[in-house]
Amino acid sequence: MSDVMYLRAALLDRFDGGEGGGMAGSNASSPGGGQPGTSGGAPVGQESAPAAGEQAERTPEQRAADFRALISGEYKDEYTKETQSLINRRFRETKGLQEQLSAHQGLIDLLSSRYGVEDGDVSKLQAAIEADDALWQEKAEEAGMDLATYKRVQQMEAENRRLRAEQQRSLQDQLARQTMSRWAEQERELKGLYPTFDLRGEMSNPAFVAMLRAGAPMRNVFEAVHMDEIKRGLIQAVQKDTQKAVTDHIRARGARPSEGGGGSAGVSVSEDVHKLTRQQREELARRAERGETITLCK
């Protein structure tokens, strides 16, 4: 299932500053329940590629059917939780607007009484205020303008404020869409590097969410959060590659290491195995060929 709902919740937090919906979770462990950089013991980058045609494009009807099956089946709880979170957010926003309107209602009633607007129609009230020349005359004189010019200037300034507010909302929407697209692309790239990467699991980690919302690239965030696990995975992968290189070299020469023959000595490699050069690995292979026992250490 796409992680778009989890991304959207983080995105709403980033631009609104609200509480993150759909991010609650009791598990902040490494993604997929495994170690980053490995998948069933496979080292980083060695996960088998999907079979040809597995990612074939599906029709909108098929995708819609798949989505309905997911939200009513395996992911029903997550979908319900996320939907409820969005409903709660919108309810809070609506409640805030209602409280703001209630706070202004007294002023609206007072002005409606002053200008004879009995039904409380705000558009009628606005027209009555704009037509009240006595209200504008003093301000027009202070500004050094005639009444008609002053009222026209005030109307233009009000329209400019409205347009700026609309532009700001449009810009925020555009930034949100761009961020969502960037996160989705970064998620795909991360899954290519770390096949066990699970964005939904990571979104339960407050540190991951905080850095992502701050604008850090998803890969940097993931590697910072899981640095120790990634290092362990790399060491294990290098050890496995080195051991395989030694074994392959011996087999290629048709030789067999000695089972403790006379005079053969063991060799312990104590330096960082992932820093071994190709020449060093070949030297280890030659020594193993002569019957020496090679022991690799972390």
Tens of pLDDT, residues 19-69: 444 433 333 334 444 445 444 444 344 444 444 444 457 788 888 887 778
**Structurally, how many domains does the chain consist of?**
2
Q: What is the pTM of this model?
A: 0.40
Secondary structure E strands in the chain: 266-269, 293-296
Domain extent at residue 288: 230-296
Q: Are 267 and 294 in contact (CB under 8 A)?
A: yes
Listed residue (6, 67, 24) closest to 218, CA to CA: 6
Cα 82 to chain centroid distance, Å, stands at: 15
Q: Are 140 and 147 in contact (CB under 8 A)?
A: yes
Instruction: Look at strands 266-269 and 293-296 and give their pairing.
Output: parallel
Q: Last residue of some domain: 131, 164, 182?
A: 131
216 compared with 118, residue with greater pLDDT = 216
The verdict on 236 and 117 lying in the same domain is no
The verdict on 121 and 244 lying in the same domain is no
Structural domain includes residue 261: yes
The verdict on 119 and 3 lying in the same domain is yes
Structural domain includes residue 120: yes
The verdict on 242 and 122 lying in the same domain is no
> CA dihedral defined by 67, 72, 75, 78, rounded to 10 degrees?
110
Q: Which of 36-50, 188-202, 208-222, 236-250 has the lowest mean pLDDT?
A: 36-50
H or E segment and range at residue 237:
helix 227-252
Structural domain includes residue 282: yes
Residue 118's pLDDT is what? 83
Q: Last residue of some domain: 69, 96, 131?
A: 131
What whole-number distance in Å separates Cα of residue 211 and Cα of residue 203?
A: 11
Residue 6's pLDDT is what? 54
Residue 67's pLDDT is what? 76
Q: Are 294 and 287 in contact (CB under 8 A)?
A: yes
What whole-number distance in Å separates Cα of residue 83 and Cα of residue 275?
A: 50
* 259 has a pLDDT exceeding 80: no
Distances (CA, A) of 247 to 108, 120, 261: 87, 89, 19
**Which single residue is written with the structure tokens 């993150």?**
20
Structural domain includes residue 181: no
**Amino acid symbol at 205:** N
Listed residue (69, 82, 87, 89) closest to 7, CA to CA: 82
Q: Last residue of some domain: 104, 131, 158?
A: 131
What whole-number distance in Å separates Cα of residue 84 and Cα of residue 187?
A: 25
Confidence band for 160, pLDDT divided at 50, 70 and 90: very high
Structural domain includes residue 184: no
Return the top range by mean pLDDT from 118-132, 150-164, 250-264, 269-283: 150-164
Q: Radius of gyration (Cα) for the chain, nearest Å?
A: 33
Structural domain includes residue 198: no
Structural domain includes residue 124: yes
**Amino acid symbol at 235:** I
The verdict on 8 and 115 lying in the same domain is yes
Q: Collapsing DSSP states into helix, strand and coil, what is residue 39?
A: strand
What whole-number distance in Å separates Cα of residue 78 and Cα of residue 71?
A: 8
